[in-house]
Amino acid sequence: MDTAPFEQWESEVRGYCRAYPTVFATASNARQVDEQGRSYLDFFAGAGVLNFGHNNPRMKRAMIEFLEHDGIAHSLDTYTTTKRDFVERFRDVVLHPRGMDHRMQFTGPTGTNAVEAALKLARLVTGRTDVVAFSHGFHGMTLGSLAATANDAFRKWAGVPLRDVVRLPNETSPGGGIAGLDAYRAAITDPSSGLLPPAAFLVEPVQAEGGVNVASVEWLHAIQSLAKDVGALFIIDDIQAGCGRTGSYFSFDGMGLDPDVITLAKGLGGYGTPIAMNLNKPEVDAHWSPGAHTGTFRGQGLSFVAGTVALDYFTDDALMDEVRVKGGRMRQALDALAAAHAGGAGQGWQVRGRGMMQGLDLGDGALAKDVQRRAFEAGLLVGPCGTNGQVVKLIPPLTIPDDDLDQGLDVLRTVVDEAVAA
């Protein structure tokens, strides 16, 4: 295992490699194998990108065929047959069944770019500058989206003031919930409050990076109502929780919500191939002028190809049913783990999540880090998140085999027990 070239030539900013100190060589579905041939169960899935597993065979075949036939690999926002396939497929599989007529905006291929575009659009539509974002929210690392991101561990590196965002507590933080929204509503309708109506409310139905915080239907509806009432856009950031992760295509499916903008990225490209897309309601989208938001890598042929195959998973209920079942098993395992420690170190531990994004809040960042380290040594990849990194987040590929899932949960139980005992 030769990591020296990285240590000598890669920037000090590199991070995950420090938690997983090996060199990975190949991968398949929920497993990565390093160059010594050691196999790891992957409960991290590339930060929630690999919903359909590493190197999904159907996508792989399609990509190879695309390459062999000289498809358009890079097209900016010119029209290509491959892109048209994706657009039509997305329309047929996602939009039509839900009665949605949102327009697809391909921003730069990263989540942060999607959020930046959404914020531009909200400000353009309303002529207002401030956007409401919530505590524990994560929306990206470029200046516009970083201003909306809550965690000071990311914010403090901006080097300039992060502005034009009004911060409200998320649902479960002190001062949050419906009462918090009511207080904010009162403020922005009182001309002497010092606060004016915002351009948008930007919310994650499930905060992933923020600590696996699941918003209630009621709270999301309250945000939506408030947004509509004050002429602000209602923007759902579904970058990590969308694309099937929670047991339905959107994390908010079935809630009766009607967002003006939905941001998607991560799982959208299927194979880890970069693509990001906003869904804008037509009346909102109509405010854009051609070229108002651009980006070099908006037209990725491989991402369209793999992303089109990925949509096949949503033409019937098979995978989503599986997600609910496996998610239930994950939840059970975490609940049992928390219960086992409830009388001791686990006092105050919380289990949170939906579908196949489940988190165990250990209330202690050092403990979570130790769990991550021990898990890695035992052949399981997990990542901490939330305040001080105290939440162990489980986001395996949705396609993980049952045995791998069970084995991973077993490993987790063992290393948590060990970490607590240490």
By CB under 8 A, tell whether 294 contacts a second copy.
Answer: yes
Binding letters toward a second copy, positions 37-56, x by CB under 8 A: ---------xx-xx---xx-
Q: Which of 318, 316, 319, 299 is nearest to 307 (CA)?
A: 299
* Choices 220-228, 299-307, 342-350, 366-374 (CB under 8 A): range interacting with a second copy: 299-307
User: Torsion over CA of 111, 165, 365 and 219, rounded to 10 degrees?
Assistant: -90
Check: CB of residue 389 under 8 Å from CB of residue 368.
Answer: yes
**Binding to a second copy (CB under 8 A): which residues in 380-399?**
386-388
Return d(Cα 418, Cα 422) in angstroms, integer.
Answer: 6
By CB under 8 A, tell whether 71 contacts a second copy.
Answer: yes
* Choices 186-194, 226-234, 245-253, 356-364 (CB under 8 A): range interacting with a second copy: 186-194
Contacts (Cβ under 8 Å, ≥6 apart) of 112:
139, 140, 141, 142, 145, 146
Contacts (Cβ under 8 Å, ≥6 apart) of 297:
74, 108, 109, 274
In angstroms, give the least distance from the CB of 148 to a second copy.
Answer: 8
Task: Provide φ and ψ at 278, rounded to 5°.
Answer: -100, 145
**Binding to a second copy (CB under 8 A): which residues in 356-375?**
none
Check: CB of residue 224 under 8 Å from CB of residue 259.
Answer: yes
* Choices 26-34, 250-258, 328-336, 356-364 (CB under 8 A): range interacting with a second copy: 26-34
Check: CB of residue 48 under 8 Å from CB of residue 208.
Answer: yes
By CB under 8 A, tell whether 344 contacts a second copy.
Answer: no
By CB under 8 A, tell whether 18 contacts a second copy.
Answer: yes
By CB under 8 A, tell whether 329 contacts a second copy.
Answer: no
By CB under 8 A, tell whether 194 contacts a second copy.
Answer: yes
Return d(Cα 253, Cα 26) in angstroms, integer.
Answer: 35
By CB under 8 A, tell whether 36 contacts a second copy.
Answer: no
Per-residue tokens: 271: 């194979």
By CB under 8 A, tell whether 63 contacts a second copy.
Answer: yes
* Choices 192-200, 335-343, 396-404, 406-414 (CB under 8 A): range interacting with a second copy: 192-200
Q: Which of 171, 204, 238, 285 binds a second copy (CB under 8 A)?
A: 285
Return d(Cα 394, Cα 284) in angstroms, integer.
Answer: 36
Beta bridge partners of 134: 168
**Binding to a second copy (CB under 8 A): which residues in 98-157?**
103-106, 108-113, 116-117, 119-120, 122-124, 129, 133-137, 141-145, 147, 149-155, 157
By CB under 8 A, tell whether 379 contacts a second copy.
Answer: no
Q: Which of 37, 99, 174, 344 binds a second copy (CB under 8 A)?
A: 174
By CB under 8 A, tell whether 164 contacts a second copy.
Answer: yes
Check: CB of residue 45 under 8 Å from CB of residue 396.
Answer: yes
By CB under 8 A, tell whether 68 contacts a second copy.
Answer: yes
By CB under 8 A, tell whether 414 contacts a second copy.
Answer: no
First to last CA, the chain: 29
Q: Which of 297, 329, 410, 418 binds a second copy (CB under 8 A)?
A: 297
CB nearer to a second copy: pick between 24 and 407: 24
CB nearer to a second copy: pick between 98 and 155: 155
CB nearer to a second copy: pick between 81 and 315: 81
* Choices 193-201, 320-328, 333-341, 355-363 (CB under 8 A): range interacting with a second copy: 193-201
Return d(Cα 383, Cα 293) in angstroms, integer.
Answer: 33
Q: Which of 160, 237, 166, 249 is nearest to 205 (CA)?
A: 237
Alpha helix ranges (H) inside 152-261: 152-155, 177-188, 217-229
Q: In which residue are the tokens 């479960």 written?
A: 172
* Choices 182-190, 216-224, 353-361, 405-413 (CB under 8 A): range interacting with a second copy: 182-190
